Structure 1
Amino acid sequence: MRNRPIPGSSGAVRAMSLLGEPVLHTPCETVTDFGPSLVRLVEDMFATMYAANGVGLAANQIGVGLRVFVYDCPDDEDVRHLGHVVNPRLVEADGVTVRGAEGCLSLPGLEAGTERFDHAVVEGVDVHGAPVRVDGTGFFARCLQHECDHLDGLVYPDRLTGLRRARLLRAARRTPWGRASGVRD
């Protein structure tokens, strides 16, 4: 049996984009170049996600406006899901709607109850252009929906309304990173 390198083990940790930075609020471009730079990007994304103790990371979270995300996320049965998707499309999001605590590496230290479907399916390709289909339930379904939102220029506070949204944005403005990036309503 062949030993595969651990994802991210040869990657570089990159700076995290924070709420308020334009790259997080702009839809990402479709990947058309499947060369070594894409492989390097995915490696760097894994390295950055692991360094930040995350379970998912979209390319725009490290300032790259391309449709790519990586994940290493358990589902509600504690089954580990590990991989990446290039040019993902959320093709199914259904089942029970669950409000659960949601955080984001681009909003460090904050979380809010956010509604997500309990089942999600994402289709796309891998770094070599081979088809990928990822089916998730529970916490992993939340992760898939969250990362697809990022690539569409959305962050989870965009899914919040009323007092829940106001409280989260007020808390963000009080953080050092929120003051520096000019977080607004």
Structure 2
Amino acid sequence: MHPSVARLAAIVPPHPGAGDAIDWAEARCKWGTHFPADYRDFVSVYGGGSINNSFFIGLPLEVAQGPRSPLTFEELNDDGYGLLDLAPEEDPALRGWISWAADCSASHAFWDTSDPDPDKWSTLVLERGGDWVDYDCGMVDFLIGFLTKEISPQPMGMFSPERPTFLNWREVRRLKAEGIDPWPYI
């Protein structure tokens, strides 16, 4: 397990049955790139889902359809760029940037994929107001900094890192089917 994922698991333990299996070769074909080791390990341990029903982490491929299915990178990119009416195909600076998460205030976390080594990709946040903020860290270290308040001010809006809980999309679907509110304290 990637050391950053192990550190994250100590802060936000994954629930039993979390994690998603992704065909990484298919994901590479679809997106034209490999993905960072920390993200691949995150997906195998946590999968697609959300922290406190406020910070939503997507997957590079569709693994399910229907209500409460995980967001895909395609959906995240469309939503993120759509907020500001941006067109990556028209702006060379945006080509290759991939949104891997969004929060409930419509801010989006992207990777800057310009380095051919995915383990060197930094995290960029597109704030709802249109500002881009570059964080010199990968996906999981960004989450850790966010949850531990090592990154200040908080990079994503309307999310409190107090009592962080991650729920995989399948767990949310299961709880809802049983009539249980998966987020009773929010």
Q: Tell me the TM-score normalised to structure 2 length.
A: 0.28
Query: If the length of structure 1 is used for normalisation, what is the TM-score?
Result: 0.28
